[in-house]
Structure 1
Amino acid sequence: MENVTNGEKLESIKSLQSTIRKLENALSQMTQKGANTTLVKKRLKAVCIGLAMLENVWNQCPHHYTQEDLGKSRNVLAGLLPSIENIYMKSKVGSPQRTLLERRIKALKLAVQAIDEHSITK
């Protein structure tokens, strides 16, 4: 994680914050419609933990998550990557969507790496 520039750190944190807002909006809409929210809740928690871990590594912000929480979140975040990468490959080169997806992929990979590195040190 040493080779991450300040710009990349900022972009990654902003990307995960944006992802959290989108998941919160999806959760709210699905709850109103009475739809099953299990998957969205699981993803929301995983992205929140991923963000907390990046902030822990880069800004020394404390977190309160257990090894079990971290392990589950790591699996959820890693599981999201193939579908996002697939959408990225289909997106138009130079489009805002492609840039957003690029940043989201990088942020998720860094979050998984932060969780992995934290788990190794424990």
Structure 2
Amino acid sequence: MENVSSTEKLESIKSFQSTIRKTEKALAQMNQKSANITLITKRLNALQIGLAILETIWNQSQTPQHYTQTDFVEARNVLASLFPSIESIYAKSKEGSPQRTLLERRIKALQLAIQAIDDLSERNV
């Protein structure tokens, strides 16, 4: 994995944590309304795996043991599927706005998680 600064690591971890909290709140609201939660549950799981793999790599520990290769592949696909909507919102955001900064960090965090999953997959082939 590319050299990532301490600042980028911290921002990426915080971005994932924030996104996970927001997704958990959305899931709770959808549960109360008896809405279909399949998609949001998959997204939440993918975000948790993305966070776990980044924390593991950056803390130089072993791969999170409770996830399978299939879990990583599915998480990678779900994380990659988030880019179009995030990039669309990013394109509409104002230059220098807090929202744009947040979206830049979220995009970077997702890219790093996907790269980490790809690196892990290559080692396990």
Structure 1 SS opposite 2:7: helix
Q: Which runs of 5+ in 2 are unaligned?
A: none
**C-alpha deviation, 1:61, in angstroms:** 4.0
- Going by fraction, where is helix more abundant, 1 or 2? 1
**Aligned residue for 2:49?**
49
Aligned partner of 2:89 in structure 1 is 87
TM-score by length of 2: 0.94
Aligned to 2:17: 17
Deviations 1:70-110 (CA, angstroms, capped at 9, x unpaired): 00000000010121011101111111111110100000000
Deviation at 1:3, TM superposition (A): 1.8
Mapped pair 1:104 → 2:124: no
Secondary structure of 2:19's match?
Answer: helix
Measured in 2, the distance between the counterparts of 1:24 and 1:106 equals: 21
* Root-mean-square deviation over aligned CA pairs: 0.9
- The code of the aligned residue for 2:82 comes to L
- What's the % identity of the aligned pairs? 69
Structure 1's consecutive aligned runs of 4 or more residues displaced over 2 angstroms after TM superposition are: none
- What is aligned with 1:38? 38
